[in-house]
Amino acid sequence: MIEVIEYQVWLSKQFGKIMNYKHKQALLDEIIRKSSENLDVTYHEFGVAFGETAKYLTENTKIPFLYHGYDTFEGLPKAWRRLPKGAITNHGKQPDIHGTNINFHKGLIQETIDSVDFSAPGMKCFLFDFDLYEPTLFAYKHVKNQLNPGDIVYFDEAFDSDERVVIENYFLNDFTFKVLGASVFGIAFQLT
């Protein structure tokens, strides 16, 4: 709880007055609204778990889009916060979400990230939800040179001090942006 309060103080100091959403879905609605202004959108979700975000996108995005989700589907590779290694597991199974536009990449991000061309044209939305610092930083460094004005970057665990290190020490130094909004745990940016 203390870290969530620290996160709220950090948001205020770092960005001033921004839109605060009560829950993740409301912030996702804003991301969907912004991305729907384009004809060609690709979502990349780093950390899929059970597929709640992928399902939400498929049910609420009204324009055609492409989705790539990256996960081992075997849970956390090491303990995180109060969760033990293996928590948040889908027992190795990909979520039961299908469509020609839905692609899951099973395995460690270091092994699967090269299977996708991040330089494809169109708007890209990067959703970082690995929970852990190392894979988040790895994925961020891999895709950052493919980010363009208009693209959206969302950090799902921005309240976590480790993920804030990626935001503060890398993202904020690499790009100009506007803040689309924040929820109790996450924050979304659109590059300018």
Q: Over the stretch 165-175, which tens digit does the pLDDT of each residue have?
A: 999 999 999 99
For residue range 19-55, list pLDDT tens digits in order. 999 999 999 999 999 999 988 999 999 999 999 999 9
**Domain 2-191 is of which CATH architecture?**
3-Layer(aba) Sandwich (3.40)
Q: Residue 158 pLDDT more than 90?
A: yes
Beta bridge partners of 69: 45, 104
| pLDDT tens digits, one per residue of 116-135 | 999 888 999 999 999 899 99
With cut-offs at 50, 70 and 90, classify the pLDDT of residue 161: confident
Which sequence spans correspond to the domains of the chain? 2-191
Q: Is the pLDDT of residue 1 over 80?
A: no
**Separation of alpha carbons 160 and 46, rounded Å:** 16
